[in-house]
Amino acid sequence: MAAPRFYIQPANWNLDHLALDADEAHHCTDVLRMKAGDRATVFDGRGHEATVEITPSAKDRITLKVLQHAKTAPLGSHIALGQAMPKGKNMDLIIEKATELGAAEIVPLLSDRTVVRLGADEAKEKREKWQRVAIEACKQCGQNWLPDVTLPVAPKAFFDSRPKFDLLLIASLQPGAKHLKEVLHEIAGEGALARMKRPRRVLVLVGPEGDFTPAEISLAIGAGCRPITLGPIILRTETAAIYCMSVLSHELHAP
């Protein structure tokens, strides 16, 4: 059975003084019933991981003895998912699965067709909740690189911030959109040269139910996004996100 995994914020990652914060300590002692002498794995979401032993300590602050540690290299490409916010808890599912599939960044988008509307305080609370979802996904799947979940943003404001990517994509129901693998192969070619020419920073936008508006698609294309089709079957937005992340992960993260 794999050792339990716990998250330590990068600012608190010090191999000489590792400790779990109150929330992780509660999970360790009250939920998992772990005690002094038990072993666990801790990570900081920036590639660092350590095998540790729980030492005698206060209940609300678990101190740890480092037994061994390592640094995990980042995945081959930085993949950012720009996801139009769905209603209900589907955003939690999207963040969980995108994390498992190696997303480096998740940008919740407030499309014109997004049903959910948030005030500033609500947006901050949502972002904190979604970041916790990503942390839990990393703990479960063994991922040592935690994706950054940004505050929700409108597409125009996002592109106005001039994010830099080597390849920008937008899932589209519009005629003329190309298949994702076709676009990747056009860029890279085949064989060993393809591995050398993989884009290092990739953005893929996934719209809400009913797709982005024509104005939003025009905005994205004007910013350099290439329209891609996800096949003949119209997918739900959460399925589309998982599809895009799966293909990109397969094509860009493989050795």
**Cross-strand pairs, 178:** 228
What confidence category does residue 78 fall into, taking pLDDT thresholds of 50, 70 and 90?
very high
Domain stops at, among 14, 43, 71: 71
Mean pLDDT of 236-242: 96
> Do 86 and 204 belong to one domain?
yes
Phi, psi at 32, each rounded to 5°: -90, -10
> Do 151 and 96 belong to one domain?
yes
Q: Tell me, what's the pLDDT at 230?
A: 92
Q: Pull the structure tokens for residue 240.
A: 């589309």
193 DSSP 8-state letter: H
CB-based contact 106:130 (threshold 8 Å): yes
> Do 119 and 238 belong to one domain?
yes
Domain that holds residue 185: 78-252
Q: Which residue has the higher pLDDT, 152 or 175?
A: 152
> Do 65 and 85 belong to one domain?
no
pTM score: 0.91
User: What is the maximum span of the chain, computed from C-alpha positions, in angstroms?
Assistant: 64
Answer yes or no: is pLDDT of 113 > 60.
Answer: yes
> Do 20 and 99 belong to one domain?
no
> Do 52 and 90 belong to one domain?
no
Query: Hey, CA dihedral for 141, 142, 145, 148, is it positive or negative?
Result: positive
What confidence category does residue 102 fall into, taking pLDDT thresholds of 50, 70 and 90?
very high
